[in-house]
Amino acid sequence: MQITKASEAVGAIVEGVDLTSLTDDEFVEIREAFFDSGALFFRNQQLTPEDHIAFAERWNDIDINRFFTPVEGYPQIAKVLKEPDQEVNIGGGWHTDHSYDEIPAMGSILYALEIPPSGGDTLFAGMHAAYEALDDEMKVRLDGLQARHGNAHIFGKDSAYQKKFGGRFGNTESAVQEAIHPVVLSHPETGAKGLYVNPGFTLEIVDMDPAESTALLDELYAHIQQPQFHFRLQWQEGMLAMWDNRSTWHYALNDYQGHRRYLNRITIAGVPLDQASS
Ligand code: OGA
Ligand code: MN
């Protein structure tokens, strides 16, 4: 097994491994590389839904996403699907999954079944590298802040996104969750400090004037959107990508209109998040 950095700030490529017959030693190495790099990419995997579930369960319990359509017979697996005639995709903007949950999902494991002839890449951003690159004044300013996250504006029954998505999301009435998390978290596995706000689900900084909160979030988002913190993943069928929602953002590019793109996703349960100590 070889593990090489995908980019300076985020991700690693794992080669020479078959995820259906992973030894315990290989898993230990993969786990360490995952928390260090924030995302792992494995090419040429032949996985049945059972294999996908078995791999996910090595990490933790499965966190079932209530809004996406499940694979028939496998409620644990969500379809990340865009049909040729569909205009809106899933994840077509910078975000991290499930930050609106009180105990946000640890990560997501996406397995590619059908990839368009070109396009449909996914961008990743590394939140530890982005935090470390902030100047000291900003680090002091962020110290102790908390942010409120929610999902009604995305998955709620009246959201513009749900309407554009043609009503394909389920359980829209239960999209009412909100959660408060630290703006700078201490990673639950490594203790590394990282930014934990995202344009998809973060609503505001708690106890801050709304205009000031928007300006601060916009400044952080502009910082994180600099390419030195990114990796761009070009998919192939049979590729499996997994990311740590506590230390990365991702963005599914929507540049393959007229083609089908289909991946299966399993979301892995996480733990409560701690504020980074100053
Ligand atoms: C997701 C997501 C990215 C992609 O499944 O959470 O954002 O590239 N998908 O499909
Ligand atoms: Mn996502």
Model confidence band, residue 162 (pLDDT cutoffs 50, 70, 90): low
Ligand 2 being an ion, which residues bring their Cβ within 5 A of it? Answer: 91, 97
**Mean pLDDT of all residues in the chain?**
93
Q: pLDDT band at 171, cuts 50/70/90?
A: low
The total number of structural domains in the chain stands at: 1
Position 50 pLDDT exceeds 90:
yes
Among protein residues, the one with the nearest Cα to ligand 1's atom 4 is: 252
Residue-wise over 140-169: b if at least 16 C-beta within 10 A, else e? eebeebbbbbbbbbbbbeebebbeebeeeb
The residue segments making up the domain with residue 216 are 2-275
Give distance in angstroms: CA of 89 to centre of ligand 1.
9
Q: For the segment 71-110, what is each residue's pLDDT rounded down to a tens digit? A: 999 999 999 999 999 999 999 999 999 999 999 999 999 9
Amino acid sitting at position 126: G
Pocket of ligand 1 (CB under 6 A): 80, 90-91, 97, 108, 110, 122, 250, 252, 263, 265
CATH number assigned to the domain comprising residue 208: 3.60.130.10
Summarised one tens digit per residue, pLDDT across range 110-148 is 999 999 999 999 999 999 999 999 999 999 999 999 999
Query: Which residue is catalytic, options 181, 187, 246, 250?
Result: 250
pLDDT at position 274: 86
- Give the closest residue (by CA) to ligand 1 atom 1: 91
Instruction: Quickly state the pLDDT bin for 163 (edges 50, 70, 90).
Output: low
- Is residue 207 among the annotated active site residues? no
- Condensed to tens digits (0 to 9), the pLDDT of residues 231-278 reads 999 999 999 999 999 999 999 999 999 999 999 999 999 999 988 876
Q: Which residues partner with 242 through β-bridges?
A: 40, 109
Q: Which residue minimizes the CA distance to atom 2 of ligand 1? A: 91
Q: What is the pLDDT of residue 164?
A: 67
